[in-house]
């Protein structure tokens, strides 16, 4: 299960470690911390992108219902959100 808030806390902790003046004293450990940070950020960024896409889809659907957006525009935005969701699901499957 994806715990967004926990990932954000972990990113913050890793970034604090990276800000330490002695961070590069152990290059292998430093590289691993940077790798972990990048991986966790990719998850939170994907989640943020999906959240925005779903919000945009909902807004566009409201416009569609009131006649201010076309079905094609609404479907296209839905497809964007769906593609992002599928990407997250695939990434999660690869993670195991």
* Structural domain spans, the chain: 4-95
Tokens of 7: 């990932």
Give me the CATH code for the 4-95 domain, please.
1.20.58.410
Query: Which residue, among 81, 34, 91, has the nearest Cα to 59 in the 3D structure?
Result: 81
pLDDT at 35: 98
Which tens digit of pLDDT belongs to each residue from 46-77?
999 999 999 999 999 999 999 999 999 999 99
> Counting Cβ atoms within 10 Å, is residue 23 exposed (0-12), middle (13-18) or buried (19+)?
middle
pLDDT at 1: 58
Which tens digit of pLDDT belongs to each residue from 11-44?
999 999 999 999 999 999 999 999 999 999 999 9
Query: Which residue, among 78, 70, 58, 11, has the nearest Cα to 39 in the 3D structure?
Result: 11
């Amino acid at each position: 299960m994806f715990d967004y808030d926990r990932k954000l806390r972990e990113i913050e902790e890793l970034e604090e470690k990276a800000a330490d003046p002695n961070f590069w004293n152990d290059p292998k450990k430093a590289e691993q911390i940077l790798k972990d940070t990048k991986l966790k950020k990719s998850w939170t960024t994907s989640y943020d992108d999906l959240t925005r896409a779903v919000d945009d889809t909902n807004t566009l659907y409201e416009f569609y219902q009131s006649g201010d957006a076309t079905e094609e525009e609404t479907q296209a935005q839905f497809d964007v959100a769906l593609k992002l969701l599928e990407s997250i699901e695939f990434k999660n499957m690869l993670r195991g």
